[in-house]
Structures are given as structure tokens and as C-alpha cells.
Structure 1
Amino acid sequence: MMATLAKPTPFYNKDSLLKHFRHFFANPEQISYPDYIKGMSVQLKKKINILEYDAIKNIFQLEQLADLHSRFSLVNSANCLVNKTEGDFVRIKDIDGRDMMTQSLENNTKYSSMDKFKQGFIRVKQEKNGYGFLNICGEEIVKCQYTHAENFNNGKALVKKESWFFIDFEGKQSESLRDVADAISLTKGISLVRFNNGKYALIDNNFAKTQTPISDIFDSIIPLNTQNFKVQSGSESKIINLEGMETYANIH
């Protein structure tokens, strides 16, 4: 069976991608699949770099970055189709409800568990080896080796093997996250961590480099929804948002 792109999706349909790049491709009708996948990746990365250059981000910038990172991850997952000539592909919905196309994994017995796709990649587990990730072609782009793994969040996933790290969609591992005992991926590139001393903070995907949380450090952080958190330091409680900024004080 010849591999074909799924009918219209925002990320994998040739016509929609070529239309998107019409303004900078001289002859878009002659663009090959590798060319427009590469073009999409380059343009998204440029936009991401511009937004990430701003050290102080508001919620609107975080939302823009989340959308760009999601597209960037999906495009890089779809890069596996460049040399794909055969395969059994099916249309599914990912964890965020988006339509996407992927290699059929229904009869795959290599893994003891599989989640839904998130930003183009699916978390899988082997009982003896631990967690890893597959791309849309069903290829293991991150080897099953981690005792814990969170789903991809703005192009990076939190993983644990003795210490906590970030990995990207190529499986490249960051420096270890200093003093982090536990971590939960949230949204828009933000995660909640518990330090070895029992304190909590919000971090972003640059924490491995900066080793600096984006919020203050608290005795506890309780998510109220995807955007707001109840935090406590001693007897004082308040609400902070996803940017680590206080919204309401003295909440009881």
C-alpha cells in the first residue's frame, strides 16, 4: 500500500502547506514534500526564536508560542514521511482533539502501553525498559529508557532517569534539572516541580539552562485550572497565574 497524506489537515496536506508558503517560494507548484516540510520548519523556528527572545512573556505570547511549538513539533514528526513509500496510515484525533494522520499502531505488541498523540509524538512504555516516544510513522525516536516521562509540551518533554531532564523531539537530553525531585508538565511550556527540600515552583522549558523558576518558591502549589494556581507560603495564600504572577492575595 502506498503511503499518502491524509486529506485536509492543517499540518500535513500538501496544498495547504504550499499555499502557506506561496509568498516566499518562487514556484510553489514545483515544491517537493521534503522542500515544503523543511520550509515550514525553518519559518516556524524563526517565529519561535523572535518570541522567545523576549525574556518577559505575557499570556498572549505564551499562547502564540504554544501554537508555534505545536506546529513545529508536528512538522518535525512528519519529516519521517520524506522517505516513506509504504505504510498503513489512519486518521485519528490527538490528545488536543486535532485531526492527524499516523502509521497504524493497533497491532503493535512491542509496547505495554500507549497514550494518545501529543504535538506529533506518542508516549509509549516497555515494561522492562521504561518510557519512550514514537513519531507519526511509528518510529521510536526516543528510546524506551526512562522511569517516567511527561508528554511533549512546547517541543520538549520532561523525563526521569535517576534525575529529571528535558528531551527534544530528536531525543537530545538537556542538563539535569537541579534539585528537582518530581515534575508535572502543564501547558504552554510551563511545568510544576517539587524540589528536594519539599518546596514547589513553576518552571519553563529553559529551566535546564537557567536553573531559575518563573515563579517564586512556595510551600505548596495547587492547580485550580490550566491558567491559575493556589499557592501557600507559611500562613499566606494567594492565586498566581501561568506566568507566575500574583492575581489575588490572602485567599483562604
Structure 2
Amino acid sequence: MSDVAVEIRDLVKTFGGGRTLFGRAASTVQAVKGVSLELNRGETLGIVGESGSGKSTLARMLVGLEQPTSGTMVIDGKPWAELAATGSRAFGRNIQYVFQDPVASLNPRKTIGDILDVPLRLLCGYDSAKREARKRELVAAVHMPTNTLERYPHEFSGGQAQRIAIARALAAEARILVLDEPVSALDVSVQAQVLLLLQQLRDDLGLSYLFISHDLAVVESISDRVAVMYLGDVVESGPAAQLFASPQHEYTRALIASAPRLTASESAT
């Protein structure tokens, strides 16, 4: 098995084009411009950049929510085109998406047990007894009590709901997770708890993460390597410690310079 979990080569995504209702040429926007990246097994690759940099479009293409205009992707040894031809379930068994808003991503009309039941039944093919046992294992893995399974999404805080969303991603038994701003909607103390959980799960289960965020401090704390996106392109990438200590591209330097930092007076209070 290759050490590379995800390989992206010359990936392009263009929106628009064609003709308007009046026959005029419609304008186009190139959201992703020839991006090439690799995510190694057991690694967290952080993707940073301002809004509009193309990082979420990249994530949506990886999990099959957007069709690339050109370029290639290989996910867990399988060509993206092959997964797309097979259908959405093929993506679900290989790569999972954890959304920014955990509560909105969970069906409000279903209990957590019912929500977790779907991937276990449709993607893993488990029988009823095995699904029930696996659901208990999943909520325990994200440090939630067993009675979580009987409750509804609106009964949980944002941090708890994100733990449940992570459990749902784990239910499919995919080994690659795309985490799109997974802690940006949470309080700082809750962010730290969720980040620690993600690190524990990665180490215990051998997961690989593509971690997308505009928060440089969060990315620095969790990532092994970081890629910086600007206007649809990767302008710099490298080991996290090296990139933050000695950024080479002017855009990376500007991002780091503009990030909030704790001053000496603030740390003393």
C-alpha cells in the first residue's frame, strides 16, 4: 500500500461560462487553478487561506460534491473518476467530510442513533445487532455517553454536536477525513477539546486529515504540514513548524503578520 492517502495533480475548477439568456458569453471564475498536493497516511495536512482562496472548493471536489474541470485525484489508491463512476457510496467508504456547522449537518428529525445507523447500514452493510454495538462504540470514541443515541441534534451544544458529526464520519470506516473549518463555530476552550479529540482519533485509528481553516493558530497546533492557498492556487507548502517560523511567500508572511497574537500584558491577566 502506498504511503500517500490522497494525491492531487493539476486540479482545476472553473465556475460559469457558456451563454446567458440573451446569448452573451457568461463570465467564468477559476476557483482552483492547477493545484497539486499530497496527503500522506497518518498525517494532518492543513490548508489555510482567506475566504475565496479556493480551499473549500478543493475539499468539495475531493469528497465528490463538486466535479473538477480538469486534473486528477487519487483517493486511498483509487482514481477519483473511478469513484465518481461508481457513485456517492464509493466516496463514503474512502473519504468523509466533517462540516463547519455541526448542528446544521445533522438531520433534526432523527435521533443520533438513527443518524449513525445510516452509514453503518448503507456503507458497511452491518446487520442490526452489529450496528447497535458499533453505535455504542462510536459515541464512546468521541467521549459522549451512551444515552446520546436516544437524543436529537438540537439537544446538544455546538461542541457536542461536532463530536457526533465526527462519530458519523468514523461510522463509514473511511480512513481519510476532510475537516472544513471544524472548530471555527466553537468557543476557544471547546475548540481545544475537539482538536485534542481529533489528534487522539488520528493516532489511535491511523486516520489522515485534510484540515481546512482560516485560523492560523488552530492550523499550526494540529498540522504536520501546511499548504497556503491564494486566489485558487497553492503559493507555499511545507512542514508546519518551518512554514510558520520562516514563511517564504509574501502572502504567507502577510497572513502570519495579520493573525492575532497574545501580548505579554494579555498573557499576564
**TM-score, with length taken from structure 1:** 0.31
Q: Larger relative contact order (C-alpha < 8 A, sep ≥ 6)? A: 2
